[in-house]
């Protein structure tokens, strides 16, 4: 298991941790060893440095998971620049917003994507480079950047308003990689199948934590869960990371048992796992350790639940990851007692540097840690309500801005959703509060299915939930909308249900 060293280093030195001849990247072009990964990182850094941009200039990429996309997160900082990855699922208007907001001096993309851009999407100060036309020759050596230097700006998915750019330093990225590689117990024999976008902090960390452990990364741009099954069979990864909507699709796919048994580790973030999902994953992948996790881009990752605790605590998000201090705080700023709900507050070196050029929203989310914090300094006040039990394990209750206020009760949408899917009438559901003149808010559930099971679902929930938690209405959909990171798009559903 990787040593838990709290010393941060420049993120571009990460390839030097792997043994030169060991595989680092396995893709459709073959296998790139760690020596080749370091050489390619240096070559891309040299090409970027040759453009003459000033230190700290932002370079954006809008690419699928090509080799260039995999090394840019290290190559741009090596050249003294700041990398701005853009999710390849985004469309031109969203891309234009990120380019303008970040003040990018360059966009690296492919011809097909660039053809969708319209006049004005790129400013006169933003150069366009096509991946197919880039020529690489000389290589820059590893940098000696100050770990506190800005290395990346990751834009949130924009579920509430326009996407915000979260500023991440070399130290944020490095310590996140070491932390995850340590608690996942990654070693050089592991192979991680990369299904998540590299613009997603969870997806980008897969690169970094894999290479920190000297393991190999296999990028996959997939269309359906069947593609994931085929990739597991072909590439023999030990590890897959996902978000709950992906796991629903994975469990609905056909898995030859020999293929399922290849997986030794499954990790989840981007939303809480339901008890049925936990049970399904443990049954389908009996050889795999399951790691439920909780994270937020502003502090990368906050908690994880050790696999040996999952069976007894399927609704828990666990304890703090290494290098994170996690507090449960009352509204008056004091520490919440065991069993008492409070706001999850994250302090320590994984806390980001705020939102890019957005002092107002930075001040809302990044505030001084409580006086009783061990770490002190700036903390991320998540806006998420959690409860710590007597054993110190945390349970996610809900986001403050998503809590349903009905007839004087504060209702967790997560609790409603877990109850809805528990009986198998539907595999996916989103609970929302909509304006109601009598109740303040009424509960509406948007669920996947044709509605034929609604009577049975209502009858079961009348047995399982108190009257104030009963949904007033169900809306059935053949598919639920997802955002660019694969999460269920609550904002889109709420807009639809309240319009």
Domain 11-309: CATH architecture, name and number where available: 3-Layer(aba) Sandwich (3.40)
Angstrom distance (rounded) from CA 18 to CA 439:
59
Angstrom distance (rounded) from CA 294 to CA 488:
16
Residue 299 has pLDDT above 70, yes or no: yes
What are the sequence ranges of the domains in the chain? Answer: 11-309, 402-498
Residue 165 has pLDDT above 90, yes or no: yes
Q: How much is the average pLDDT of 255-274?
A: 93
Angstrom distance (rounded) from CA 38 to CA 22:
12
Helix H or strand E segment including 266: strand 265-268
Whole-structure pTM value: 0.87
Most confident of 90-94, 266-270, 374-378: 374-378
Which pLDDT score is estimated for 458? 95
Q: Dihedral through CA 416, CA 284, CA 387, CA 349, nearest 10?
A: -130
Rg (CA), the chain: 23
Residue 158 has pLDDT above 70, yes or no: no
Write down the residue that tokens 């209405």 correspond to: 473
Q: Which residues of 283-294 are buried (b: 16+ CB within 10 A; e: fewer)?
A: ebbeebbbbbbb
Write the pLDDT tens digit of every residue in 194-209.
999 999 999 999 999 9
**Where residue 157 falls among pLDDT bands split at 50, 70, 90?**
low
From the list 185, 182, 221, the residue with the least C-alpha distance to 70 is: 221
For the chain, give the percent of residues with pLDDT over 90: 83
Residue 286 token pair = 């009996």
Q: Is 236 helix (H, G, I), strand (E, B) or coil?
A: coil
Residue 161 has pLDDT above 90, yes or no: no
- Strands 342-347 and 366-368: what pairing? unpaired
> What CATH number labels 402-498?
3.30.300.30
Burial class for 224, CB neighbours closer than 10 Å (0-12, 13-18, 19+): exposed
Contact by Cβ (8 Å): 181, 173: no
Residue 159 has pLDDT above 80, yes or no: no
């Amino acid at each position: 298991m990787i040593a838990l060293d709290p010393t941060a280093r420049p993120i571009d030195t990460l390839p030097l941790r792997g043994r030169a001849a060991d595989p680092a990247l396995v893709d459709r072009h073959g296998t790139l060893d760690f020596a080749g990964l370091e050489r390619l990182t240096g070559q891309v850094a040299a090409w970027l440095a040759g453009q003459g941009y000033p230190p700290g200039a932002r370079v954006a990429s809008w690419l699928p998971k090509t080799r260039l996309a995999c090394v840019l997160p290290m190559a741009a900082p090596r050249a003294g620049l700041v990398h701005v990855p853009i999710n390849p699922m985004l469309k031109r208007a969203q891309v234009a917003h990120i380019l303008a907001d970040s003040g990018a001096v360059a966009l690296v993309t492919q011809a097909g994507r660039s053809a969708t851009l319209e006049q004005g999407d790129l400013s006169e100060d933003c150069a366009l480079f096509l991946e197919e036309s880039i020529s690489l020759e000389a290589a820059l050596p590893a940098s000696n950047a100050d770990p506190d230097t800005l290395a990346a700006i990751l834009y949130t998915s924009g579920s509430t308003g326009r996407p915000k750019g979260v500023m991440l330093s070399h130290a944020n990225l490095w310590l996140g990689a070491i932390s995850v590689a340590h608690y996942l117990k990654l070693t050089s024999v592991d192979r991680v199948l990369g299904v998540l976008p590299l613009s997603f902090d969870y997806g980008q960390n897969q690169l970094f934590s894999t290479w920190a452990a000297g393991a190999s990364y296999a990028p996959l741009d997939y269309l359906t869960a069947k593609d994931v099954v085929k990739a597991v069979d072909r590439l023999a990864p030990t590890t897959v990371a996902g978000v709950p909507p992906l796991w629903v699709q994975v469990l609905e796919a056909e898995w030859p048992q020999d293929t399922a048994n290849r997986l030794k580790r499954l990790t989840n973030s981007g939303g809480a796992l339901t008890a049925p999902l936990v049970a399904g994953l443990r049954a389908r992948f009996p050889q795999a350790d399951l790691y439920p996790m909780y994270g937020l881009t502003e502090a990368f990752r906050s908690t994880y639940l050790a696999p040996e605790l999952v069976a007894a605590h399927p609704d828990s998000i666990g304890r703090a990851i290494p290098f994170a201090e996690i507090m449960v705080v009352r509204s008056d700023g004091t520490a919440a007692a065991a069993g008492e709900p409070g706001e999850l507050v994250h302090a320590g070196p994984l806390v980001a540097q705020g939102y890019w050029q957005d002092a107002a929203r930075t001040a809302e989310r990044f505030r001084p840690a409580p006086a009783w914090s061990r770490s002190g300094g700036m903390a991320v006040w998540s806006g998420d309500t959690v409860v710590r039990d007597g054993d110190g394990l945390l349970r996610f209750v809900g986001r403050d801005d998503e809590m349903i206020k009905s007839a004087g009760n504060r209702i967790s949408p997560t609790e409603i959703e877990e109850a809805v899917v528990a009986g198998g009438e539907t595999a996916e559901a989103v609970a929302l509060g909509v304006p109601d003149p009598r109740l303040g808010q009424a509960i509406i559930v948007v669920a996947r299915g044709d509605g034929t099971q609604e009577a049975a679902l209502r009858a079961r929930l009348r047995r399982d939930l108190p009257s104030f938690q009963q949904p007033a209405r169900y809306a059935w959909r053949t598919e639920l909308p997802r955002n660019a990171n694969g999460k269920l798009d609550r904002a889109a559903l709420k807009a639809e249900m309240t319009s």
